[in-house]
Structure formats: C-alpha cells, structure tokens
Amino acid sequence: LGQDTIFGSGFETGDLSEWSASSTNNGKLITTKSAAYWGYYGLQANILDNSDMFVQDDTPTTEQEFHARFYFNLNNLTMAAGDTLTIFNGYSGSTQVLKVLLQKASGKYQLKISVLDNSSMWKDSGWYDILTGWNGVEISSIPGTSSGTLDLKINGSSQYTVTNLTNTNAKIDSVKLGAMNVATETRGVVYFDDYESRRL
C-alpha cells in the first residue's frame, strides 16, 4: 500500500476483522472464495430481504481529498426496472455526503455517483453501463468552495467528471461498502473485492 493510503482490504483474512465495523444481516454478508477477484477471498452479499448489510471503515479523518477503488460483480442479482441499490456510502460525521448507486434500465445494469453540496442538494452523474462480470469502480471526491470535483471511472474509463462544486462539507470520515437501501424486487448474490482508499 502507498504512503497516501487511508485503508485497504482484500478480505484475505477470510473474515471481516480488518474493517472498523460490519452489519452482516444475520450472517448474510460473509467472505467466500467464490467472491474473490484477487487472492483467495472476497466479500459476498446474499440479498434475501430488504435489510442493509455492509462493512464500515472509520479510518478516514475529515479527508480533504478522498479516492476509493473497489471491484464489484453482479453475479446473479435481479432487480426491477426503476429500483436502485446503494453499494457505497461516504459520511462526514453522521451525514451521508457521497454514494454510488446501482440500477437496472432497459435490460442493462448501470452505476451513478452522487455528492452532497453545501446547499444539501445531491449532485448526480448520469447512469453508466457496467459489465455482468467484474467491474473496477473508482471514485474521487475533492471538496472545495466553487472548486470541488467529483469523478467516476468504470473499468479504467472516465465516465463522469464535474467541477466547480461548492461541497466543503463533503469531507469523508467513514465509508460503507455493501448492499444498502434494498428494494423488495432486488434479490440475489453480489460480490465485492480489493477495496482501497487514498488521499491522493
């Protein structure tokens, strides 16, 4: 890991002990070999009901600049058109200020990123198609007064960049990775692996 690394986990301990906290929905969020993109283990979310499940990292400390990357696999997930699933949340204190959402539209699965500005308004990207297999998801958030930026890359390709944001309140103190805000029509098993966050 680099000197600017905030936190990293490839789930290679075979459990969730590297993370600050976790909410497993009675054991439905686990590490398995099936969920591995790199190494031997990855994170498997068995979405069988509407309850949230996630791992949480409290290592960030009012981060002026925050970058994160993780790998995500739809596996056998099914969703109804119009429903969304949150797979990543970032918080400033207890306030949610950053999120990555998944949806199904026109038979395709798509991601978008959103950041909360100082007017408590969500600034959203568009929706971008992802693969049915593994996807590398990279997000960057830099708070500023009329100079903040937000960026989303999928599989190494820049999909969305917005500049000139006023989002100085969006300094990251903690993050959650998993399946959150689950709709009734969203069911199946998804995989995550190789999470890393950085300051630069």
Q: What is the mean pLDDT of each run of 10 residues along the chain (200 residues)?
A: 87 98 98 98 98 98 96 97 96 97 95 96 95 97 94 96 94 98 98 97
DSSP E strands, 42-107: 42-47, 53-57, 66-73, 84-92, 95-105
pLDDT value at position 3? 74
Helix, strand or coil, per DSSP, at residue 81: coil
103 Cβ contact partners less than 8 Å away, ≥ 6 residues apart: 79, 82, 83, 84, 85, 109, 110, 112, 127
Structure tokens at 69: 């990357």
pLDDT value at position 1? 57
Helices (H) and strands (E) in the chain, counts: 0, 16
Alpha-carbon dihedral sign for residues 38, 4, 117, 154? negative
Residue 130: count other Cβ atoms within 10 Å of its Cβ.
21
pLDDT value at position 2? 65
